[in-house]
Structures are given as C-alpha cells and as structure tokens.
Amino acid sequence: MSQAPTKGYLVVASLKFEFYELAINLIHSIKDFDEDAKVCFVTEERFCDGRESVADHLIHCYDHGREKLTALSKTPFDITMYIDADCEVQHEDIGTAFDMLDGHDLMFTPLTEERADYFKNSKWDHGRLEVNGGVFVYDIRNSIVQDFMKDWNHYYRMQRLKQWWPDMKDGRPDYSKHPAHLEEWDQFTLWWLLNHNPKYKNIKLKFFDEEVRWNWYFTFREEENYTDKGIVIFHASGMKIKKKYKG
Amino acid sequence: MTTRKWASDSFWESYDQNRITSILTTVDDEGRETKQQLTVSRFDPEGNPNPDFQEILDQVGEEKISENTTARNERKVKERELQHQKKLEREKADKLQRLFEYKIEAFEIDSIKNSKNRALKSKLRKAKNIVEVNIFSMMIVMEEMNNESSAD
C-alpha cells in the first residue's frame, strides 16, 4: 500500500525583518485554522528571536529578496502550500487546499485581465501575466515539478544578471517583445516557464476553486469581494504596515 | 496676415448659451502659433454683440457646440463617478490596513497568542472591524485570566 503523501505549508521571510514579523503572524494564523498543520519556515538566522519556534521545520537562508525561489525545491513535504509572508489565514477551509490539488502538479490563483490594474507592470504590448505566484500548491514527488521549481529559481537569477531573457541578441537581452521593466519580476519567469518552455508544456496546472477566496488582496474592489464563504487567505501586499514593523 | 481658428470641441459654458469655452489658435505673419483657452461671452459689458462669439458660431456651428457640451457633460459625470469610486476604494483599503495592523498587535499579546480557544481566535482573525477585534481580544484575555485563577 502506498504511503499517504506528507502535506505542509512553506513560508519564507528574507531581506527585511518586517517580513519575519509578518511571517510569524501568518504561521500562527495557519495553526489557528489547521490544527494539524506542519509549517516549514525559511528565514535568515539573524532575524530569529525565538518566535520562529512556532514552525515545525526551520531552514536558514541568505539575505536575497527572492529566497522563496530557492526554498521551493527544498520543501520537506510531498505536497506543499506556499504562502507569501504578508498574508494571513482567516478560514478553516485552508486545510482543504491539499486535496483540491487532486492529482495536478501545480495549483495557482489566476491573474485575470480585470485585475491587471492591481498588479504593477503585469501587462505589456505582447502579453500579460496570467498566474499569481503569491499563493500556490505543488506536488514535488513528480520530478518535473522538482525541475520546475529549480528552473524558476535558475532562470530568475539569470534574468537579473541579464544572462537570460526570452529573446537574446548578441548575448544581451532583447527587450523589443518583452520590455525591460519585467526583468525584476519572478512572476514573469513563472509566466514564461508555464507558457513558453516546451519542457513544461505537459505540466498539470489548475486554478483554485473559488480562487478569489484563496488570495484576496485588500485592494480588491467591492464587486470582487464575493466572500459569502469567507476569505481564506488575506493578502496584505502593498500595505504600508511593513514600515511600522521594522526591526 | 494673422489667421484665427477656434477649436472644433468648443462647448457652452453656461446653460443660457451666452458663454462659450474654446481654444483659439492664432498664426501670425511669421508663422508663429499661439494657443489660448478662452471663455467668450455673447455680449460685451456694454451689451454689444461680441465679434469673437459670432466668429466661433460661424466656424464651429451652434449644433456642434451643443453636441460637444452634451458629450462633455456626460464625460464629466463619468469622471466624477470614477473619482468617487476610487475615493471609496482608498477609504476601504485604508480601513482594512488599520484593521490588519490592529489585529497583528492584538495577536502579539501573549495570552491571545498562546490561547487554546480556537473558536475565539478564529473569530478574532475574521473580525471585520476594530470593535470586533476589541471584543474578541477581551474575551480571550478574560478567559485566560479565569484559567490562571482556577489553576491557582
């Protein structure tokens, strides 16, 4: 009989102490609503002040702003739910996300065209970002998913070093189709891997059911606030709160 | 010779159609172009017909000016509605930000953070306003205090 997959949450806080503070709140909120939750916390050693012990696994990372991408392939769980540090869980349904994956490799929330206004630089002349990398579930048991997470990290770092871009000319990025302002975005790397890298054309991707509940931005307009069942994950991205919690 | 051209998007400034707002483009003998936005009255202060007003009517036409005015008014109403909506959205976002901040502070209180009462903590996490945060925080703290007294 095959063993049941291990399931857990991945939370990453690097570069700024305020992310550590927010991550601690997030981990507590996960455990408030999912009693049996296992959480892997990836953070910098210099931030740890004892509160990190709320997590079940602790991994120390470097002070790069996108340590998230390195952490994804290091998850100790078979099925992982990654949640951005500036989120808070607000509903008991949180634990249902793992089963919702339902045999797929990856599950995201969509970045719809109507919501493009909320996300800086998510559109350009030849395309737009289509998935939101702030909250997602993945099954690392499939080697293609393991490769995907490693490639996401690798391509992003290469793009920041100007050593990779969808179009290269004389060894330099050619920004005519994909403008330079997208370069800072790991979400752009994600978009390219999912849509244009043939290696991942068969990766099984789905969106969360009732997706708006699973990554609800505080800036969403009223009509998008269809939360009869309640917000599961509240995303505080862009809140000035971060400044208040400087260490 | 200086040429004068009134903009085709001129509109009535007043409901009685006695004032028009328009942009006048003049080009002098040396080809230098000047643009001015002007509000022109039908009559001068002495009650005499204003030749500029008549010139606009001749160049643009009364019907076109009325059409422009209707389109402009509709556009302004839409702009005001959009501004109002954006203001409401900003207010809502500010309110949510204050609430989130306040909740984080509540959860930093040891007796709340360490409380085992998941039902109350869940209500606190879901609190929709600061009053609810205060009520549920107080209930948790009081319960913890009662537990401590019973243990003593």
ipTM entry? 0.81
Answer yes or no: is A152 within a domain.
Answer: no
Return the closest-CA partner of residue A194 out of A150, A100, A101, A130.
Answer: A130
What pLDDT is attached to residue A243? 44
- Closest-CA distance, A241 to chain B, in angstroms, reads 7
What pLDDT is attached to residue A57? 98
pTM of the model: 0.83
- Is the CB of A236 inside 8 Å of chain B's CB atoms? yes
Per-residue DSSP letter, A12:
E
Structure tokens at B78: 């839409």
Q: Which residue of B has its CA nearest to A237?
A: B97
Summarize pLDDT for A151-206 with one digit per residue, the tens.
999 999 999 999 999 999 999 999 999 999 999 999 999 999 999 999 999 999 99
Q: Which domain holds residue A131?
A: 7-142+204-235
Mean pLDDT estimate for chain B: 94
Residue numbers of A between 86 and 125 with CB closer than 8 Å to B: 88-92
Could you give phi then psi for residue A33, rounded to 5 degrees? -105, -15
What pLDDT is attached to residue A89? 96
Q: Which residue of A has its CA nearest to B108?
A: A25
List CB contacts (< 8 A) between B125 and chain A: 29, 32-33, 88-90
List CB contacts (< 8 A) between B128 and chain A: none
Summarize pLDDT for A89-127 with one digit per residue, the tens.
999 999 999 999 999 999 999 988 877 777 777 888 888
Answer yes or no: is A119 within a domain.
Answer: yes
Taking CA atoms, A208 is separated from A37, A98, A130, A235, B62, in Å, by 19, 10, 14, 15, 58
Summarize pLDDT for A193-247 with one digit per residue, the tens.
999 999 999 999 999 999 989 999 887 765 555 567 889 999 988 776 544 444 4
**For A245, left (φ over 0), alpha (ψ -120 to 50), or beta?**
alpha
Are the beta carbons of A239 and B107 separated by less than 8 Å? no
DSSP SS3 for A35: coil
What pLDDT is attached to residue A246? 42
- Distance between CA atoms of A39 and A43, rounded to whole angstroms? 13
Answer yes or no: is A108 within a domain.
Answer: yes
CATH code for the domain of A81: 3.90.550.10
Are the beta carbons of A239 and B122 separated by less than 8 Å? no
* pLDDT surpassing 70 at residue A34: yes
- Distance between CA atoms of A7 and A37, rounded to whole angstroms? 8
Considering its fold, how many domains does chain A have in total?
A: 1
Answer yes or no: is A190 within a domain.
Answer: no
List CB contacts (< 8 A) between A29 and chain B: 125
Summarize pLDDT for A123-142 with one digit per residue, the tens.
888 888 999 999 999 999 99
Answer yes or no: is A23 within a domain.
Answer: yes
The answer to whether the CB of A52 falls within 8 A of the CB of A24 is: yes
Are the beta carbons of B118 and A35 separated by less than 8 Å? yes
Low-confidence ranges of chain B (pLDDT < 50): none
The answer to whether the CB of A31 falls within 8 A of the CB of A56 is: no
* pLDDT surpassing 60 at residue A56: yes
